[in-house]
Amino acid sequence: MCAAQAGYRGRRVLVLDKARKPGQKILISGGGRCNFTNRSVDPNNYLCSNPHFVKSALARFSAQDFIDQVERHGIDFEERDHGQLFCIESAKQIVEMLLTECDWAGVEIRLNTDVQSIQRMSERYPGQPGWLVHTGEQYLKADKLVIASGGLSIPKLSSAFGYRIAEQFGLKIQPTSAGLVPFTLHTEDKEQFSNFSGISLAVEIKALNGPTFIRDLLFTHRGLSGPAVLQISNYWQPGEPVQINFLPQQDLDQLLEQQLEAHPQQSLKNALGRYLPKRLAELLTAPLASASEPLIQLRRDDRELLRQRLHHFELKPNATEGYRTAEVTRGGIDSDELSSKTFEAKREPGLFFIGEVIDVTGWLGGYNFQWAWASGHACGQAL
Report the CATH number that the domain containing residue 214 is assigned in CATH: 2.40.30.10
Please give the pLDDT value at position 1.
98
Please give the pLDDT value at position 291.
86
DSSP string, 122-148: HHHSTT--SEEEE-SS-EEEESSEEE-
* Residues 199 and 96 grouped into a single domain: no
In a domain, 57, yes or no: yes
* Residues 115 and 257 grouped into a single domain: no
Please give the pLDDT value at position 16.
98
List the helix and strand counts (H, then E) for the chain.
14, 21
Domain count, the chain: 3
* Residues 264 and 376 grouped into a single domain: no
Q: Tens digit of pLDDT for each residue in 238-258? A: 999 999 999 999 999 999 999
**CA dist., res. 202 & res. 215, Å (int):** 5
Please give the pLDDT value at position 268.
92
**What contacts 276, CB < 8 A, 6 or more positions away?**
201, 246, 247, 284
Residues in the chain: 383
240 dihedral zone (left: phi>0; alpha: psi -120 to 50; beta): beta
**What contacts 109, CB < 8 A, 6 or more positions away?**
3, 14, 15, 17, 22, 99, 102
* Residues 229 and 308 grouped into a single domain: no
pTM here?
0.95
Q: Give the three-class secondary structure for 295.
A: helix
Regions of the chain where pLDDT drops below 70: none
Nearest to residue 288, comparing CAs of 279, 273, 301, 276? Answer: 301
Strand intervals (E) in 182-298: 183-184, 200-206, 213-219, 223-225, 242-245
